[in-house]
Amino acid sequence: MSTIVYQGTITTTGSTRIPCTSGRLLITSIIINNLTLPYSITVSKFLNNGQSIPLYQFDLDAGDSVRDTEDYLLNTGDLIEILTDVAGGTYYVSAMTVS
C-alpha cells in the first residue's frame, strides 16, 4: 500500500474531485478549511456506474473546519467530490492504494 495526498483549493464548480483511476483507493481522511466567510460544504461519492451517494453537507461559520476520518473505499472509476459555495476553501485528503 502506498499513501497518496491530495490538496488544494476547493472550487465552486464541482471540479474538486479525488478519483480512483485504477485498482482501489481507500480515503482515510478529509480535512476542509475556510477562514474568511461562512460557507456550505458538500461531500459526495460518485460510483463508476453514475450513481451519486451524498456523504454529508454542513453549513459552517467563517473559520470552521471539517475533519473526517471515516474510511471511504473507491473502486476504479469512482470518485469523491468536494463542493463549496464560497471560493477559497482548502482541502487535504489522505488516501492509500489497496489490493
pLDDT, tens digit, 9 for 90 and up, residues 2-20: 899 999 998 888 789 999 9
Q: Which residues contact 67 (CB under 8 A, 6 or more apart)?
A: 29, 30, 31
Radius of gyration of the chain from its Cα atoms, rounded to whole angstroms:
13
How far, in Å, CA of 32 to CA of 37, rounded? 14
pLDDT, tens digit, 9 for 90 and up, residues 39-83: 999 999 999 999 999 999 999 999 999 999 999 999 999 999 999
Q: What is the mean pLDDT of residues 19-47?
A: 93
Q: Which three cell numbers stand for residue 81?
A: 467530490
Report yes or no: 2 and 96 within 8 Å, Cβ to Cβ: yes
3-98 in CATH: which number? 2.60.120
Q: Give the pLDDT band (50/70/90) at residue 34.
A: confident
Domain map (residue ranges) of the chain: 3-98
pTM: 0.91
- Per-residue model confidence (pLDDT) at position 87: 86
Q: Which residues contact 13 (CB under 8 A, 6 or more apart)?
A: none
